[in-house]
């Protein structure tokens, strides 16, 4: 399992992942303006890789660009489909390479998200998670009902609320959360319960209301990731915030990470960002 940290890593790991494909690429796209990624997908088709792109049927302010992207990818030989409109939004961002590696992104394939925002991505060969991502992609591509099987894949609206509730409830000492939209009443109640039981709860982002025992800071740079570290050893990275629409009404995808080394690395980045956020707050107050 590998962790990608933005903006430090840039676009290179994504291009390398596409270049590594030998037979197959499935990619889900919500926003996209990276020419390097488009060029890499085109080159993959030219060397015989079957590339399928599922593009969101809508996004705020960028539908015209999505439709132009569809046309360019089709002209390059990519098999392009548009997501259904049964959900409020298709906001998930992931790629499966050769049916063996899942690349789960907290960011879009855009200059703003990759070059100017704090975000993460996870690459994993976990067989169950990969198989489930392939099955999810196929279901959404063919507009069939998706019923999740047991894995570490967190999929909205099907299982995200249950999986994230269980993840938060299992925490005994500390929760470190990146989330700009902590708004769901049930999730806030869970965080309150953890704090009341002595769990240190810190949020980089924004939570609706102020809760005693829950610390909150704003990141000086743009924040575009949803991530949670539990007790420094387990983590969640994905596209869903802890708010109702992203848990129940949109296609969002994330991953529960049981790799302590990766969780510790996310925690280290969080601690650095937490310190920077504190310094920025003091400057604003001065």
pLDDT of residue 285: 79
Is 18 in the same domain as 147? yes
pLDDT of residue 50: 98
Range of the domain at 168: 154-285
pLDDT at 163: 98
Same domain for 107 and 199, yes or no, is no
pLDDT along the chain (286 residues), means of 10: 98 98 97 96 98 91 87 96 90 97 97 98 98 97 95 98 98 98 97 97 95 94 96 98 97 98 98 94 78
Q: Are residues 9 and 140 in the same domain?
A: yes
140 plus 177 within the same structural domain: no
Q: Work out how many domains the chain is built from and give that number.
A: 2
Domain CATH for 38:
3.30.870.10
Does 200 lie in the same domain as 104? no
pLDDT of residue 284: 80
Q: What is the pTM of this model?
A: 0.95
* CA-based R_g, the chain, Å: 19
pLDDT at 55: 94
For residues 139 and 182, state if they share a domain.
Answer: no
| Final residue in a domain of this structure, among 151, 178, 201 | 151
Q: Residue for token digits 């990276």?
A: 34
pLDDT at 65: 87
Task: Assign 3-class secondary structure to the chain.
Answer: CEEEEECCCCCHHHHHHHHCCCCEEEEEECCECCHHHHHHHHHHHHCCCEEEEEECCCCCCCHHHHHHHHHHHHHCCCEEEECCCCCCEECCCEEEECCCEEEEECCCECHHHHHCEEEEEEEECCHHHHHHHHHHHHHHHCCCCCCCCCCCEEEECCCHHHHHHHHHHCCCCEEEEEEEEECCHHHHHHHHHHHHCCCEEEEEEEECCCCCCEEEECCCCEECCEEEEECCCEEEEECCCCCHHHHHHEEEEEEEECCHHHHHHHHHHHHHHHHHHHHHHHHHHC
pLDDT at 60: 81
The first and second tokens of residue 111, run together, are 């200059």
């Amino acid at each position: 399992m590998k962790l990608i940290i933005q903006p430090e890593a840039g676009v290179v790991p994504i291009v390398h992942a596409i270049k590594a494909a030998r037979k197959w690429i499935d990619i889900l796209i919500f926003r996209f303006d990276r020419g390097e990624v488009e060029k890499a997908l085109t080159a993959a088709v030219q060397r015989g890789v079957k590339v399928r792109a599922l593009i969101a049927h809508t996004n705020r302010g960028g539908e015209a660009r999505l439709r132009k992207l569809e046309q360019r990818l089709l002209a390059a030989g990519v098999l392009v489909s548009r997501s259904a409109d049964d959900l409020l939004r298709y906001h998930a961002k992931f790629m499966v390479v050769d049916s063996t590696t899942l690349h789960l992104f907290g960011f879009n394939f855009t200059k703003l998200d990759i070059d100017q925002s704090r975000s993460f991505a996870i690459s994993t060969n976990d067989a169950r998670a990969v198989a489930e991502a392939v099955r999810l992609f196929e279901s959404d591509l063919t507009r069939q009902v998706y019923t999740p099987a047991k894995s570490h894949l967190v999929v909205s609206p099907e299982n995200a609320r249950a999986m994230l509730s269980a993840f938060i409830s299992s925490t005994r000492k500390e929760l470190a959360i990146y989330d700009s939209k902590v708004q769901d009443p049930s999730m806030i109640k869970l965080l309150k319960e953890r704090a009341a039981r002595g769990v240190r709860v810190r949020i980089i982002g924004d939570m609706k209301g102020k809760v005693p025992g829950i610390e909150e800071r704003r990141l000086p740079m743009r924040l575009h990731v949803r991530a949670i570290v539990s007790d420094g050893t387990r983590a969640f990275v994905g596209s869903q915030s802890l708010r109702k629409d992203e848990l129940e009404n949109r296609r969002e995808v994330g991953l529960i990470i049981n790799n302590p080394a990766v969780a510790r690395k996310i925690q280290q980045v969080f601690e650095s960002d937490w310190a920077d956020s504190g310094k920025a707050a003091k400057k604003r107050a001065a």
